[in-house]
Structure 1
Amino acid sequence: MHLDKINSPEDLKKLSIVEMNELSTELRQVLLKKLSEHGGHIGPNLGMVELTVALHYVFNSPKDKIVYDVSHQSYIHKMLTGRKDAFINSEKYDEVSGYTNPEESEHDFFNIGHTSTSISLACGLAKGRDLKNEKDNVIAIIGDGSLSGGEAYEGLNNAAEAGTNMIIIVNDNDMSIAENHGGLYKNLKELRDTEGKSECNFFKAMGLDYYYVSDGHDLGQLISTFNKVKDIEHPVVIHIHTIKGKGFEIAEKNKEQWHYGMPFELETGASKVSMGNAENYSNLTGEYLLDLMKQDPTVVAITSGTPTVLGFGPGRRKEAGKQFVDVGIAEEHAVALASGIAANGGKPVYGVYSTFLQRTYDQLSQDLCINNNPALILVNAASVYGMNDVTHLGIFDIGFMSNIPNMVYLAPTCKEEYFAMVNWGINQNEHPVAIRVPAMGVIESSIEDTTDYSILNKYQVSKEGKDVAIIALGDFYQLGQSVVSKLSAENNIEATLINPKYITGIDEELLENLKKEHKLVITLEDGILDGGFGEKIARYYGPSEVKVVNYGIKKELLDRYVAEELMKKNRLTEGQIIEDITSIIK
């Protein structure tokens, strides 16, 4: 095997074209084996094999600096830069992350996990180089799907003006996670159809030099083009046509499904992870919204490149027609679009992952909340039990969402509450509303939720008690239930249990009444403590004799953590909370 002899890009440069083609086959086989056993980003990495080999053959990493957009397509890069054992040896699979990471290798320059960023970051590297009068190459790799993000346009605009060495590789496989959306993609198709010869050329219009590679899996074409632009003294775009999922027929035919996946059978593609028939909120939401659309033509579902977060697979998208809008990877636009739809009488529902909603703070504040437009935002994977990579953490939402004036942020504890909140959020016209979609599975209470959510910030007392009150928010409500039950059964403490439902405000009347028979108030929240829900409660009780203890997650950037270990570290286990309560009470 050629891969056995590749420990750095320098080893790659000793190979012939024939040998590099053989190496590419080996790399794809190793990649598929790990992906089938461990899961990961499948289609993006299979489509980048030859391109990455050619890059490292021509350029001199790490002196020449390569920046991967999102960086979920950097697996081959890692294998060629000294980290192949983490792909070959199953015992070492978790020794590297799924994204670039400077702590792993000098060949990585950024921790990246969000999209449309590579050109801007590379512009910064190029400017730093120029300030030092150095002469290395700076290369930004960006997929066609990521070009829809506003930061990509900003980076292209700046790169064109900078006027020095900057190589932008557009990896065009005619796909985002799902299909691409937006006017830009008509021009990309025209460029592919004319092999880059169309007079209408978006990149040239931006003031950039331009090359086209028709077969991004042909090492000869790739190497020849890269050699032409190596050490170039002005900015250039290399537009490369690749196939997402290349070399794995199932992934080539089902590109959306095979963007990312859990472990699977190599021969059939069948998942090794049994999902059973368990309900999930994405599918339930998609079913609910599609039914509502049939009754109300003003309801519209919005997504920014992740349609399945709302349960809208290809079938539902087709059935919804104009009442479903995928804006591409453009979260900021999605929020502003939702505000505009709401301002003109529509009923927009924007589904987004918590980690990506971070990109929209200005639009939430300026475009939506200042205008107080009644859009509904469904915030997914906002939990300790959501995504756990440092670039995809979803646990910061409470701090930034709940402190924007006019926003009503809700935290359901069960299926009944969730759909009652969704129904209210869509049909009310007084506030921007966001709902923290439960992340702990679909829990049914079998009790209809008759809450009038238009009466803001009214908490629900689930169990009356004294001495101790536990205010348990959203996904941590069940933890609160368990603590209250054990306090009663094992410690003879009859605690009050409260389901606050509202993240954005406090129920002053209820909190004031608790003072009469309660010495201790406990808050539980599935997020960062600093700026969080519990601090609002603590601030209210500050001048009083009531003691408040906030439970949540310490503010830190976590990477690939184990949720149970993180809970224990933050004293969020049932036993630890009970231990603290009994100690304080006694």
Structure 2
Amino acid sequence: MPDKPLTPLLDRIASPADLKGLPVSKLRQVADELRAETIYAVSQTGGHLGAGLGVVELTVAIHAIFDTPHDKLIWDVSHQCYPHKILTGRRDRMNTIRQKDGLSGFTKRSESPYDPFGAAHSSTSISAALGFAVARDLGGAPDHGIGDCIAVIGDGAMSAGMAFEAMNNAGHLGKRLIVILNDNEMSIAPPVGALSSYLSRLYAGEPYQEFKAAAKGAVSLLPPPFQEGARRAKEMLKGMTVGGTMFEELGFSYVGPIDGHDMDQITQVLRTVHDRASGPVLIHAITKKGKGYGPAEERDDRGHATAKFDVPTGKQHKAPSNAPSYTSVFGKTLTKLGETDDKIVAVTAAMPDGTGVDIFGARFPGRTFDVGIAEQHGVTFSAGLAAGGMRPFCAIYSTFLQRGYDQVVHDVAIQRLPVRFMIDRAGLVGADGATHAGSFDIAYLANLPGFTVMAPADEAELVNMVATAQMIDDGPSAVRYPRGSGVGIELPEEPTPLEIGKGRIVIEGKRVALLSLGPRLAHAEKAAEMLGAKGIAPTVADARFVKPLDEELILGLARDHEVLITIEEGAIGGFGSHVAQLLAENGCFDDGLKYRSMVLPDIFIDQATPDDMYRIAGLTAEDIVEKVQAALGLRTLDSKRA
């Protein structure tokens, strides 16, 4: 274990109040020590690193100038909130971050008064901050009061439509509101789109560079005692005179660009805005993701997310896996299909690496589209591609696809357009917790007329389901699959489409039938083995499809067994509900069938290991055994697991 860094000044900071009155030189020291502390903390637990390192100086300066938590500081997405947590009384719990019963990896209202608004999805901060500002002016929260409202948003998050909707409304209302654009030219993936190009021009264009050079020369002519003050004035003048047109047209006073790592500039600008702003202001700060830690700066994603690592080298401590990830299996399968089908195109929303689209993109860059953090646009863009005769594969995490649901309904499903949704991170995801869990996609897609919805039990089935989706040209389809590695099964040499709406019997048994959807099949098989040792030999089936249901299979299981139990990694209202509807319509309950549905519980499950989360959810092999025994009226296991 590496030595904990020496942080003599940071050790004296128990809350942001302790930053008040410190000279800039001391704030610089706090920032240096905070950066070292953040690197050390994440090395011990894993988590989000690069984003936090990029805002260390901003974090210190904001808390030094503003009066948090009376002033409301809202971090967009909040990957970058680890330094903020260290400064706001949670330093001694950083070793619990993203772990069961520990600190969240994001801001969380229930965790601290310094987290006035929870986040984990992108582009919500300006809307929330504007809401606080209006509530302030209407007399909301009289017991505590609301002061300034500050939103810190990245350039990637700023590309989303919701951010501009909020800015448009804020400019119209004219409320005192401070938006800090943290521009590091990097979200999780390199930024895309016209906004990124516009921001680049603001600080790379000729007027800015010429002004900078002229100002530097002028300062050097002054006597040494006056140079420091002149330099600060020059930086302020530079910020006030360069660019900003687009933001000003939206009703914001624009300040920038400023160096987000220069404590002199940051504190001067924040203090001026704090003292003088009367309406909405946007401060454009240039930062570097992963700043101050070489291994993060050198990585393609600037150290966005990391496992535990060795601080001197940056080498991560990851448990090896003999099985490929579901994400890579999708990416490689789509690439293989793309070799012979030039109509296949891939669409993702700022997550090419996270969805496997980067694999397809490396081979077919002209048929690969990263639309940025814009899921609504990505869905309708895919619908347009489909209407235009292409075969779009729209790869978006389950939890992010929720952001484009109206478009899924209105632009895809109603028009029966063959958009193929590849839904990564389906089910519970571990350390990212409830905000990133793919709990609801079965329920919100399978209720739409004309949708084909599939869930593979393993990576081999995923290969064939991607090929199945390729061939569905008469309506939309979706394949949902989990985060992480597969089960280690051999992959088919050639992707082979499955028969639509057909499941399979995995184990022939009697009396009890276990009908699994998706990766819980392995747990159903383990439960069957455990039940076999108790004298019960259940049938185990793999549903494969939520929609259309394999009615022949399901009704046969109901007819031939006393108990039928469905198992899925989804919320109430999903696969089990569709099965129950089928059974009721066919009078199966009238014949005495005992039916049970095992789903995710009606709660949001906080972060933990995936295994712990599924134990909390009651979806382990042991839980299946208990459910069977209870349905049969037999004694359940002697004790509940913690």
Residue-by-residue CA offset, 1:327-375 (whole Å, 9 max, x unaligned): 1111111111111111111111122211111111111111111111111
- Residue 540 in structure 1 maps to residue 582 in structure 2: yes
Structure 1 residues 440 and 72, CA gap change in structure 2 (3 angstroms): closer
Structure 1 residues 33 and 447, CA gap change in structure 2 (3 angstroms): closer
2:599 alignment partner in structure 1: 552
Deviation at 1:301, TM superposition (A): 1.4
Contact 2:50 2:302 in 1 (8 A): no
Deviation at 1:137, TM superposition (A): 1.1
Contact 2:329 2:463 in 1 (8 A): no
Contact 1:347 1:375 in 2 (8 A): yes
1:504 alignment partner in structure 2: 547
CA distance in structure 2 between the partners assigned to 1:12 and 1:283 by the alignment: 46
Deviation at 1:423, TM superposition (A): 0.9
Residue-by-residue CA offset, 1:359-400 (whole Å, 9 max, x unaligned): 111111111111111111111111235555132222222221
1:339 alignment partner in structure 2: 383
Contact 1:54 1:223 in 2 (8 A): yes
Which range is displaced more, 192-201 or 475-484? 192-201
- Residue 362 in structure 1 maps to residue 406 in structure 2: yes
1:578 alignment partner in structure 2: 625
CA distance in structure 2 between the partners assigned to 1:293 and 1:167 by the alignment: 47
* Counterpart among 415, 419, 440 of residue 371 in structure 1: 415
Residue-by-residue CA offset, 1:145-173 (whole Å, 9 max, x unaligned): 10121111111111111102011110000
Deviation at 1:427, TM superposition (A): 2.9
Q: Which of these two proteins has the greater Rg computed from alpha carbons? A: 2
CA distance in structure 2 between the partners assigned to 1:533 and 1:102 by the alignment: 33
Residue-by-residue CA offset, 1:98-121 (whole Å, 9 max, x unaligned): 111222221111121100000001
CA distance in structure 2 between the partners assigned to 1:263 and 1:450 by the alignment: 36
Equivalences for residues 233-272 of structure 1 within 5 A: 233-272=278-317
Contact 2:153 2:179 in 1 (8 A): yes
Which amino acid in the other structure matches residue 561 of structure 1? A
CA distance in structure 2 between the partners assigned to 1:436 and 1:323 by the alignment: 22
Residue-by-residue CA offset, 1:307-326 (whole Å, 9 max, x unaligned): 1123244x864542211111
* Counterpart among 273, 276, 279 of residue 229 in structure 1: 273
* Counterpart among 539, 542, 561 of residue 608 in structure 2: 561
Give the count of matched residue pairs.
582
RMSD: 2.5
Which amino acid in the other structure matches residue 462 of structure 1? V
* Counterpart among 478, 495, 502 of residue 538 in structure 2: 495
Contact 1:463 1:497 in 2 (8 A): yes
* Counterpart among 136, 142, 165 of residue 147 in structure 2: 136
Residue-by-residue CA offset, 1:538-566 (whole Å, 9 max, x unaligned): 23334422110111221111211344344
2:91 alignment partner in structure 1: 84
Structure 1 residues 89 and 558, CA gap change in structure 2 (3 angstroms): closer
Contact 1:87 1:93 in 2 (8 A): no
1:311 alignment partner in structure 2: 356
Residue-by-residue CA offset, 1:279-331 (whole Å, 9 max, x unaligned): 11222322232333343332211111111123244x86454221111111111
Equivalences for residues 144-293 of structure 1 within 5 A: 144-194=155-205, 195=208, 197=241, 201-230=245-274, 232-276=277-321, 278-293=323-338
Contact 2:19 2:63 in 1 (8 A): yes
Which range is displaced more, 327-336 or 192-201? 192-201
The secondary structure found in structure 1 opposite 2:559 is: coil
Which amino acid in the other structure matches residue 486 of structure 1? M
Structure 1 residues 30 and 92, CA gap change in structure 2 (3 angstroms): farther
Structure 1 residues 508 and 6, CA gap change in structure 2 (3 angstroms): same
Contact 2:424 2:481 in 1 (8 A): yes
1:403 alignment partner in structure 2: 447
Which amino acid in the other structure matches residue 168 of structure 1? V
Contact 2:99 2:607 in 1 (8 A): no
* Counterpart among 25, 35, 38 of residue 42 in structure 2: 35
2:230 alignment partner in structure 1: none
1:391 alignment partner in structure 2: 435
Which amino acid in the other structure matches residue 338 of structure 1? S
Structure 1 residue runs of 5 or longer lacking an equivalent are: none
Structure 1 residues 200 and 131, CA gap change in structure 2 (3 angstroms): closer
Structure 1 residues 527 and 216, CA gap change in structure 2 (3 angstroms): same
The secondary structure found in structure 2 opposite 1:240 is: strand
Equivalences for residues 52-63 of structure 1 within 5 A: 52-63=59-70
1:17 alignment partner in structure 2: 24
Deviation at 1:257, TM superposition (A): 5.0
CA distance in structure 2 between the partners assigned to 1:135 and 1:108 by the alignment: 13
Deviation at 1:274, TM superposition (A): 3.5
Which amino acid in the other structure matches residue 576 of structure 2? G
2:11 alignment partner in structure 1: 4
- TM-score normalised by length of structure 2: 0.85
Structure 1 residues 252 and 514, CA gap change in structure 2 (3 angstroms): closer
- TM-score normalised by length of structure 1: 0.93
The secondary structure found in structure 2 opposite 1:192 is: helix
CA distance in structure 1 between the partners assigned to 2:506 and 2:321 by the alignment: 32
Contact 2:331 2:356 in 1 (8 A): yes
Which amino acid in the other structure matches residue 170 of structure 1? L
- Residue 381 in structure 1 maps to residue 425 in structure 2: yes
Residue-by-residue CA offset, 1:89-136 (whole Å, 9 max, x unaligned): 999997421111222221111121100000001111011011118772
CA distance in structure 1 between the partners assigned to 2:504 and 2:426 by the alignment: 22
1:47 alignment partner in structure 2: 54
The secondary structure found in structure 2 opposite 1:139 is: strand
Contact 2:456 2:462 in 1 (8 A): yes
Which amino acid in the other structure matches residue 63 of structure 1? H
Contact 1:36 1:262 in 2 (8 A): yes
Deviation at 1:463, TM superposition (A): 3.1
Structure 1 residues 142 and 439, CA gap change in structure 2 (3 angstroms): closer
1:127 alignment partner in structure 2: 134
Which range is displaced more, 133-142 or 358-367? 133-142
CA distance in structure 2 between the partners assigned to 1:427 and 1:92 by the alignment: 42
Which range is displaced more, 107-116 or 191-200? 191-200
The secondary structure found in structure 2 opposite 1:470 is: strand
CA distance in structure 1 between the partners assigned to 2:96 and 2:355 by the alignment: 37
Which amino acid in the other structure matches residue 98 of structure 1? G
Contact 1:148 1:329 in 2 (8 A): yes
Structure 1 residues 391 and 450, CA gap change in structure 2 (3 angstroms): closer
Structure 1 residues 549 and 147, CA gap change in structure 2 (3 angstroms): same
Percent identical among aligned pairs is 36
CA distance in structure 1 between the partners assigned to 2:101 and 2:57 by the alignment: 24
